Amino acid sequence: MGIIEKQATKNVIYSYLGAFLGFLTIIFSSHALSPDENGLTRILLSLSILLAQFAGLGFNTVTIRLFPYFRNHEKGHHGYLFYGIIITLIGFLLCIVFYFVGHDYLVASNIEKSKLFVDYTYLLLPLTLFTLFFNLFDYYLRACYNSVIGSSSKEFVQRILILLILAAYFFQIIEFSAFVILYVVAVCLPTLILIYYIIKLRSGM
């Protein structure tokens, strides 16, 4: 079995694990969180994903189509990742502008789903930033035939952490404010894992 086949098998396993853990998270969160609190987590996650799609400026699609022309491990793929980081940062700057210009609209259009959203709107920017860079690094690693680390960190590690954080809040070990911060940390952690992996990969492991 080749490298791609092995990684495809592992990705399928992590996808099924992620689906199961996601199902448990939905069930548990309906008991651990109030409708308002549950709405907050969903709004933050959904909007950060939406903003990250906008801020990505289509670079991930370019990676799928054009990376083979840059592929050269000895030459660092001709600086492809560096260009990706620069374009992604430009996209995030545009996202910041959009956030401040459209802040009132974001609040007004989502206040009915969660009144807590007003208090935690500021978390949208870090969530969007980490989601944006996770997408960049995940597509880059997939183009380098390293697809497992992205799926394992997102589908398994992140979901396990969220379940643990939900349990801590349900059993009143932490307050809701701490839960929200830890939830955001859990969502952002896969990006840090990919950064660490890429650094180790580029240094020869």
> 192: exposed, middle or buried (C-beta count within 10 Å: 0-12, 13-18, 19+)?
middle
Mean pLDDT of 99-117: 83
pLDDT of 204 > 50? The answer is: no
What are the tokens at 34? 């109030």
CA angle 175, 133, 77 (to 5 degrees): 150
State residue 205's pLDDT score: 40
| Domain ranges, ordered by start, for the chain | 3-202
Is there a contact between 135 and 92 (Cβ–Cβ < 8 Å)? no
Mean pLDDT of 44-63: 87
Query: How far is 16 from 58, CA to CA, in rounded Å?
Result: 28
What are the tokens at 184? 């955001």
The DSSP-derived string for 30-50 is HHHS-HHHHHHHHHHHHHHHH
> Per mean pLDDT, which of 51-65, 79-93, 122-136, 145-159 is the most reliable?
122-136
- Residue spans of alpha helices (H) in the chain: 3-32, 35-55, 59-70, 80-101, 103-110, 117-120, 124-143, 148-152, 158-170, 176-202
Q: What is the number of other CB atoms lying within 10 angstroms of the CB of residue 5?
A: 9
What are the tokens at 148? 């497992």
pLDDT, tens only, 163-176: 999 999 999 999 99
Is there a contact between 14 and 152 (Cβ–Cβ < 8 Å)? yes
pLDDT, tens only, 56-107: 888 888 777 777 767 666 666 667 888 889 999 999 999 999 889 888 888 8
| More reliable by pLDDT, 29 or 181 | 181
Name all contacts of 11-17 with Cβ < 8 Å and 24+ positions apart: 11/147, 11/148, 11/151, 14/148, 14/151, 14/152, 14/155, 14/156, 15/151, 15/155, 17/155, 17/156
Residue 2: pLDDT band with limits 50, 70, 90: low
Looking at the chain, the whole-number percentage of residues with pLDDT higher than 70 is 91
Which single residue is written with the structure tokens 């050269």? 72
State residue 203's pLDDT score: 54
Query: How far is 12 from 24, CA to CA, in rounded Å?
Result: 19
Average pLDDT, the chain: 85
